[in-house]
Amino acid sequence: MIDPKIVRNNPEILVDSFERRNKKFDMTRLSELDSARRDIMSKSEALKAERNETSKMIASKQRAKEDASADIQRMRAVGDEIKGLDAELLVIEDEFNGILMSIPNIPDSSVTLGESEEDNVEVKVVGNKPEFSFAPKGHWEIGESLGIYDPTAAARIAGSRFTLFKGLGAKLSRALIAFMLDEHTSNEGYTEIAPPAIVSPDSLLASGQLPKFEEDLFGLREGMYMSPTAECQLTNLHRDDIIAPDMLPLAYTAHTPCFRAEAGSAGQESRGLIRQHQFDKVEMYKFVLPENSMDELEIMLKDAGNILEKLGLCYRVLELCTGDLGFAAVKTYDLEVWMPGMNKFVEISSCSNCGDFQARRGQIRFRRNSEAKPELCHTLNGSGLAVGRTIAAIFENYQQEDGTLIIPEVLRKYMGVEVIS
């Protein structure tokens, strides 16, 4: 959530932010509500001050055996007036906060101005695209032909856009998860978390999925939801906490199943492992000092790229433009892996700096010293990586002409085999 003070003191920042994101926004209603809430709060505070002073006077009169009935009657009326103002304020603040919750984060000044993904900036390409002496197949063909990926069985069990791996396919999924977690924890300083897969509305509100993306969530009874990403659980590890400054940065990683009502798209991405309702992901998450958050974003980007490089996969880094920037982010890098069977780069990770946007929603704060006023942390999140898409990339990049699949060297100790036939 953006700082409410911006509405009153610097509304032009909001207008500019929407223009940079290629969206329109009318400040009128928000400004009206802010003015009304401040007016009501002022009246209420004045009445409460009057009540406090009059209460002292009543007590004094009663001690002196003087008649205080008129004052008492007046205070009853004042009490009713305060209750009415508080009720009115509750309604206004509910609408005011509802609008604030729907406003996306303000892009960092370094983010390139653009209208859509077509304006994203390619930062670099890492590695070389593999060359084949044959026409490379799509990952869905490879998995089915090897008998390690069975979309028909998955559809029979749960419907479309679900995945079922079996045999060495299931083992490959497990190997990737273990490899990613080992890299992040042993070599990059992240602490592993194994969180619940079900989350509360408060958790989704703090991380930014609610109310904006409710239609993309799988709801459960009693108002609970299946988690769409471990970013949600990891954000809420320190909700309502005040963190000691010597503890920052805090870096966490988690493997979780993720559940999303993906709308999908026509063509290649409607097949195979690219868009699924349920998928596994290893997430990276950091709580950091505000002045260090951009440097920490570069470190997180390096950590995600490290996984791809050790797997021997060619990828590129894109800096998202303002028009393609996510709801909660001030700056984002996407990593896209090369898919020879699909003949294009496909997103496999997104690393974002969310500034104090999530921390304000979740009241995640720190003190610079024991006497200092609490400040909001900055938070960052990134995929390290999406497991299904990584499997798809391995299928397509390591396929052989004879139909076999070579296992990347770093995974062989987890797999116990070098080739899947």
| CATH number where 243 lies | 3.30.930.10
Cβ count within 10 A of residue 401: 10
- Do 241 and 124 lie in a common domain? yes
- Do 41 and 121 lie in a common domain? no
- Do 232 and 187 lie in a common domain? yes
Whether 266 shows a pLDDT value over 60: the answer reads no
User: What are the structure tokens assigned to 114, written together?
Assistant: 């653009």
Identify which of 188, 368, 362 has the alpha carbon closest to the alpha carbon of residue 290.
368
At 277-297, the pLDDT tens digits run: 999 999 999 999 999 999 999
- The rounded percent of the chain whose pLDDT value lies above 90 is 88
- Do 161 and 275 lie in a common domain? yes
Name which residue leads in pLDDT, 382 or 245. Answer: 382
- Do 9 and 93 lie in a common domain? yes
- Do 65 and 191 lie in a common domain? no
Q: What is the structure's pLDDT at 264?
A: 52
Whole-number average pLDDT of the chain: 95
> pTM of the entire structure?
0.92
3-state secondary structure of 389: helix
Q: How far is CA 36 from the centre of its chain?
A: 32
Whether 161 shows a pLDDT value over 80: the answer reads yes
From 77, 101, 125, the end of a domain falls on: 101
Mean pLDDT of the 77-99 span: 93
The owner of tokens 């001030």 is 330
- Do 156 and 287 lie in a common domain? yes
Q: How confident is the model at residue 138 (pLDDT cuts 50, 70, 90)?
A: very high
Number of domains present in the structure of the chain: 2
Q: Exposure string (b/e) for 167-205, b if CB count within 10 Å is 16 or more?
A: ebbebbbbbbbebbbebbeeebebeebebeeebbbebbb
- CA dihedral (220, 177, 130, 396) positive or negative: negative
Whether 420 shows a pLDDT value over 70: the answer reads yes
CB within 8 A of 211, min separation 6: which ones? 98, 101, 102, 205
* 108: in domain: no
- Strands 315-319 and 344-353, sheet pairing: unpaired
* 106: in domain: no
First to last CA, the chain: 51
* 337: in domain: yes
Cβ count within 10 A of residue 313: 25
Whether 189 shows a pLDDT value over 80: the answer reads yes
- Do 129 and 83 lie in a common domain? no
Please tell me what DSSP assigns to residue 119: G
Q: How confident is the model at residue 71 (pLDDT cuts 50, 70, 90)?
A: confident
Burial degree of 15 (CB within 10 A; 0-12, 13-18, 19+):
middle
* 183: in domain: yes
Mean pLDDT of the 218-232 span: 96
* 112: in domain: no
- Do 308 and 408 lie in a common domain? yes
- Do 301 and 401 lie in a common domain? yes
HSE at residue 399, side-chain half, CA atoms within 13 A, is: 27
Q: What is the structure's pLDDT at 318?
A: 98
Q: What is the structure's pLDDT at 338?
A: 98
CATH number at residue 69: 1.10.287.40
Q: What is the structure's pLDDT at 245?
A: 79
Mean pLDDT of the 352-377 span: 96
* 387: in domain: yes
The owner of tokens 């296992």 is 407
Q: How confident is the model at residue 68 (pLDDT cuts 50, 70, 90)?
A: confident
Q: How confident is the model at residue 26 (pLDDT cuts 50, 70, 90)?
A: confident
* 201: in domain: yes
Whether 32 shows a pLDDT value over 90: the answer reads yes
Q: What is the structure's pLDDT at 269?
A: 63
Burial degree of 29 (CB within 10 A; 0-12, 13-18, 19+):
exposed
The owner of tokens 């919750």 is 101
Torsion of CA 207, 209, 210, 216, to 10 degrees: -160
* 111: in domain: no
The owner of tokens 């979780």 is 256
From 101, 129, 164, the end of a domain falls on: 101
Mean pLDDT of the 293-308 span: 98
- Do 236 and 125 lie in a common domain? yes
Q: What is the structure's pLDDT at 25?
A: 87
Mean pLDDT of the 119-139 span: 97
Cα separation, 337 vs 359, in Å, equals 31
Q: How confident is the model at residue 271 (pLDDT cuts 50, 70, 90)?
A: confident
- 84: containing domain: 5-101
- Do 94 and 207 lie in a common domain? no
Mean pLDDT of the 177-181 span: 98
Q: Using an 8 Å Cβ cutoff, are 318 and 372 in contact?
A: no
Q: What is the structure's pLDDT at 149?
A: 97
Kindly write down the DSSP assignment for every residue of 146-189, as one continuous string.
HTSB-HHHHHHHH-SS---B-THHHHHHHHHHHHHHHIIIIIS-
From 55, 76, 101, the end of a domain falls on: 101
Q: How confident is the model at residue 265 (pLDDT cuts 50, 70, 90)?
A: low
